[in-house]
Structure 1
Amino acid sequence: MKKSAIIGLITIAMCVGFLVSLNADTSTYATFAEAAKDAREFHVMGYWEKSKGTYYDAEKDANHFAFYMKDQNGALGKVVYNGTKPQDFERSEKLVLIGEMKSGTFYASKILMKCPSKYNNDLVEVKQDGKVEKYN
């Protein structure tokens, strides 16, 4: 076998190994319980618990936003985001938090929001005071 063929096969094997190692670290969404077990970054998907409200005081600390979220299993967890409150947070349908759990609180480094589709004809928004508004 030629040296160039051997080098080519080794290069291909290294590339395949590299691609497999990238995919090995990707995971699906975790729950708060899974995030509490390990001190690394997790993606937790869930819904904002509207009855608990939010905490954001721009005058006191513009980079502190806190709220409660239910994960996919229905477990309630406190979330702290060191950043400004995301625009249209109240309108979001689902949340994906990227961060880690420390002392029973999930500290999010990023918040991804799934907002209602503008093409949804029967969109209903429930506000904190219990009033329901329907948009057409």
Structure 2
Amino acid sequence: MKKSYILALLMVIGAVCLVYFSSDQEVARYRSFAEASTTGTSVKLVGTLVKDKPMDYNPLENPDLFSFYLKDEQGTERRVNLTQAKPQDFEMSESIVLSGKMVGEEFLATDIQMKCPSKYKDEESMIKELTES
């Protein structure tokens, strides 16, 4: 076999291994507050904003600290301290994905992703009602 074929084969094998191992690190299941407490390491968790509890953000005092309460998928509520500014339209989010770890009884979040309601949701329900009647 030619050296160029062997080199090309090794490069393909290396690329496949690189993709496999890098994607394995990105795909992580969501944890609950209870699981985050036991691991002691950084985890991802998903939940919903507890709208009847206070949200604290004072950009004059500390622009990189925003605190709120989140309910995880198991129904546990905890205070979250986000080390970023308060996201725009935060109150309208349907679900929130956080990366961070538990510090005592509070979750220290370093990253946030929000799922906001679709602007087409009302239109979809109206179209569904029209087609059913």
What TM-score do the two structures reach when normalised by structure 1? 0.77
Corresponding letter in the other structure for 1:38 = T
**Aligned counterpart, 2:97:** 96
- Summarize deviations over 1:84-127 as a string: whole Å, max 9, x none: 211211111111112222223211112222222222339xxxxx
The 5 A counterparts of 1:102-113 are: 102-113=103-114
Instruction: Indicate the structure with greater strand content.
Output: 1
Corresponding letter in the other structure for 1:15 = A
In the alignment, structure 1 residue 47 sits paired with structure 2 residue 48: yes
The 5 A counterparts of 1:15-34 are: 15-25=15-25, 26-34=27-35
The 5 A counterparts of 1:1-136 are: 1-25=1-25, 26-121=27-122
Shift of 1:75: 1.6
**In structure 1, C-alpha distance between the alignment counterparts of 2:53 and 2:42, rounded to whole Å:** 25
What TM-score do the two structures reach when normalised by structure 2? 0.78
Corresponding letter in the other structure for 1:17 = C
Shift of 1:24: 1.9
Say how many residue pairs are matched. Answer: 122
SS in 2 for 1:7: helix
Shift of 1:83: 2.2
Moved over 4 A (4+): none
**In structure 2, C-alpha distance between the alignment counterparts of 1:121 and 1:4, rounded to whole Å:** 59
Instruction: Indicate the structure with greater helix content.
Output: 2
- Summarize deviations over 1:17-47 as a string: whole Å, max 9, x none: 1111112212122222222233433221110
> RMSD of the TM alignment (CA)?
2.0
Corresponding letter in the other structure for 2:3 = K
Corresponding letter in the other structure for 1:116 = P
**Percent identical:** 37
**In structure 2, C-alpha distance between the alignment counterparts of 1:74 and 1:21, rounded to whole Å:** 33
Which sections of structure 1, spanning at least 5 residues, go unmatched? 123-136
